[in-house]
Amino acid sequence: MSLSRLDKKQLTAFIPGTIVDVKVKVGQQVKQGETLVVLDAMKMHNRILSQFNTTVKEVNVKSGDRVVKGFVMVVLD
């Protein structure tokens, strides 16, 4: 899981891959450690977790989307 060093509220893809599942919606309250997105990369499912208690502000991916390294998948409030 990777958060942008410039803005810890932007959840970015740490490696190119395919979105397997999106576990959150805009406006949803999430807790630290909760899975937000599942990213398939190099035949491994990587759970992207929330680093703190917050609210989901934007969701920029859906299941089946291919993402490049650095793509902003979720923005937290």
Q: Which domains does the chain have, with CATH numbers?
A: 2-76 (2.40.50.100)
Cα three-residue angle 36-53-48, rounded to 5 degrees: 25
On the question of pLDDT at 7 being above 80, the answer is no
Predicted pLDDT of residue 58: 97
Strand order across the beta sheet in which 44-49 lies: 44-49, 35-41, 17-22, 66-67
Average pLDDT score over the chain: 91
Q: What is the average pLDDT across 40-51?
A: 94
In the numeric block, which tokens belong to residue 52?
A: 């703190």
Q: What is the average pLDDT across 24-43?
A: 96
In the numeric block, which tokens belong to residue 17?
A: 């891959």
Q: Cα 1 from chain centroid?
A: 8
Q: What spatial distance separates the first Cα and last Cα of the chain, rounded to whole Å?
A: 18
